[in-house]
Amino acid sequence: MAFLGSQSTALRRIPDHELLDSWVATVEAFSDPRSPESRALRPALGPSIGLSPGGLEAALGAILGGVGKLPARDMIRRAGAFPKDPRKPALVFLAGNLPALAVQPLLPALALRRPVLLKSPSSEPRFTPAFVAALARRLPAAANAMAVLRWEGGDVRIEAPLLAGAGKVLAYGDSDSIADLRSRSPAPVLGYGPRISLAVLGAGIDPETVAEGLARDIALFDQRGCLSIHGIFTLGDPEALARALEVALEELAARWPPGPARLEDQAAARQEIETAHLQGLRVFELPLGHGAVLIDPEARLKISPGLRIVRIFPVADLETLPQRLAPWQDRLQGVAMANADSLLSALKALGASRIAPPGKLQHPDAAWHNGGISPLEALG
C-alpha cells in the first residue's frame, strides 16, 4: 500500500483531458462486443456472473453507459474543487452480484488522483483486472496507481496491513462483511450494503405505458441489483397492471433470457409462488426465471426471492405509504415513480437515494449519490 500511495504524484501530473480520453476509450472498448477486449472477456464473464449473453449485454450497457464521456467529463471537472495532496490510497472491496461494478469507484478515485487497490470478488474475478489493465495500456502514467488483487474475503492476515495503509475504505457486500471490516479498519469504512428498491404509481397511470419500463427495472441484472424493483405500490387497477407486466416480462425474457439459477434460488422462488397460491393471492406466473407477478392486498413491502418475481400492492391512497415504508428506513435505495411527486420529500427522508421514471431507475450515471453520499466525497 505504501508504494501505491506514492503514486499520487504521478496521478496529479496527468492532465484532465488525457485522463478523460483514456477513460472514455477504455469504456467504449468494453461496451463494444466486437472489440478485442470484449471478445477476450465476454465468453467467461457471463457464466461467472450468472447472466445470459443478452442479460450481460444489457447489464454492461447500463453500468458502462453511466460512466461514459459526458458523466466522466463532469466528474473530472468537479473533482478539481477537491484537494489533491498526497494521501493514502483507497481500498475497495467489490461485490460479485453485478458485472463491471469496479468502474463506479474507480472513476472518482482517478478523478481525485487518489491511488486505489480494488479487491476482485471471488465469484467474478475477470472484469476488474481486464478493465484496469486496458486502462493502464492507454494511460501508462496511472498504471502503478491502480492495483487489483483477489483473495478470500475476511482473511485477517492479508487484510490487516492493507487496512492499516488505506486512507479510505469502500466495501460493497452483505451487512456482516461490512460490519467485520469496520471492526478491524483504522480508517472509516463506507459500506454499500444490501438495500431494496420499489415502484410507486399514482392515479391516472395507463398500465400499458409503464409496464415495459417496470419490467426492465425488475429484470435487469436478473433482479440482483440494489436498484432492482421488488414491489410496486399502485393507486390503479392491480389486475390490469399485473396483466400488462406479465406480458412485458415475457417479452423481455426473449431479449434478456434469465441466467442459470442456483438450486437454492429456484427453490426459494418456487416456495414464494406456491405460498402465494395457498394464501389465495392472484398469481400471474411465467416459466421459472422469466418472472411472476403477485397481487398482495396486504401492501407490506418484502424482499423478493429473485428470479424476476415482484409483488403489486394496491393502495387506496399514497399518504399512508411513508408509514408503510418506515420499517425500511435507511434501507431504501431507489424508487421508480410516476404521478406521485407529492412523496418525493418523504421518500428521500426514508433514505431513497435515486428516484426516476419507470425504466430509468437502474441507469444512474457516475454522479449518483449511492446511499446518499457523493462518489467524490466518498473518496475525497
- What does DSSP say about strands 292-295 and 196-201: parallel, antiparallel, or unpaired? unpaired
Q: Which fold has domain 196-356?
A: Aldehyde Dehydrogenase; Chain A, domain 2 (3.40.309)
What pLDDT is stored for residue 104 in this prediction? 97
Set of cell numbers at residue 297: 392486498
pLDDT, one tens digit per residue, over 18-58 is: 999 999 999 999 999 999 999 999 999 999 999 999 999 99
* CATH (residue range 2-194): 3.40.605.10
Measured between alpha carbons, how far is 229 from 253 in angstroms, rounded to an integer? 16
**The pLDDT of residue 73 is above 90:** yes
What pLDDT is stored for residue 380 in this prediction? 87
| Percent of the chain topping pLDDT 70 | 99
- Going by pLDDT thresholds of 50, 70 and 90, the confidence category of residue 83 is confident
2-194 and 196-356 share one CATH topology? no
**The pLDDT of residue 193 is above 80:** yes
What pLDDT is stored for residue 33 in this prediction? 96
pLDDT, one tens digit per residue, over 205-227 is: 999 999 999 999 999 999 999 99
Which residue ranges make up each domain of the chain? 2-194, 196-356
| Percent of the chain topping pLDDT 90 | 92
What pLDDT is stored for residue 7 in this prediction? 84
- Going by pLDDT thresholds of 50, 70 and 90, the confidence category of residue 3 is confident
Residue 264: burial class (beta carbons within 10 Å; 0-12, 13-18, 19+): exposed
**The pLDDT of residue 13 is above 70:** yes
What pLDDT is stored for residue 8 in this prediction? 86
| The residue to which cell 469502500 is assigned | 170
| Residue 235 near residue 241, CB atoms below 8 Å | no
pLDDT, one tens digit per residue, over 89-132 is: 999 999 988 999 999 999 999 999 999 999 999 889 999 999 99
- What does DSSP say about strands 116-119 and 90-93: parallel, antiparallel, or unpaired? parallel
| Residue 56 near residue 98, CB atoms below 8 Å | no
Task: Over range 149-160, report the average pLDDT.
Answer: 93
- Residue 191 backbone phi and psi in degrees, to 5: -100, 130
Set of cell numbers at residue 174: 452483505
| Residue 207 near residue 244, CB atoms below 8 Å | yes
Task: Over range 232-261, report the average pLDDT.
Answer: 97
| The residue to which cell 468502474 is assigned | 103
Element (H, E) at 270: helix 263-278
Lowest mean pLDDT among 42-51, 131-140, 301-310: 42-51
**The pLDDT of residue 86 is above 80:** no
Q: Render the burial of 106-144: b for 16+ CB within 10 Å, e for the rest.
A: bbbbbbbbbbbbbbbbeebbbbbbbbbebbbebbebbbe
Q: Which residues contact 117 (CB under 8 A, 6 or more apart)?
A: 1, 4, 89, 90, 91, 92, 147, 148, 149, 162, 166
| The residue to which cell 409503464 is assigned | 210
- Going by pLDDT thresholds of 50, 70 and 90, the confidence category of residue 85 is low
**The pLDDT of residue 366 is above 90:** yes
**The pLDDT of residue 200 is above 70:** yes
Residue 358 vs residues 217, 317, 334, 335: alpha-carbon distances, Å: 7, 20, 11, 9
Residue 13 vs residues 8, 30, 112: alpha-carbon distances, Å: 9, 26, 12
- Going by pLDDT thresholds of 50, 70 and 90, the confidence category of residue 318 is very high
**The pLDDT of residue 5 is above 80:** no
Q: Across all residues in the chain, what is the average pLDDT?
A: 95
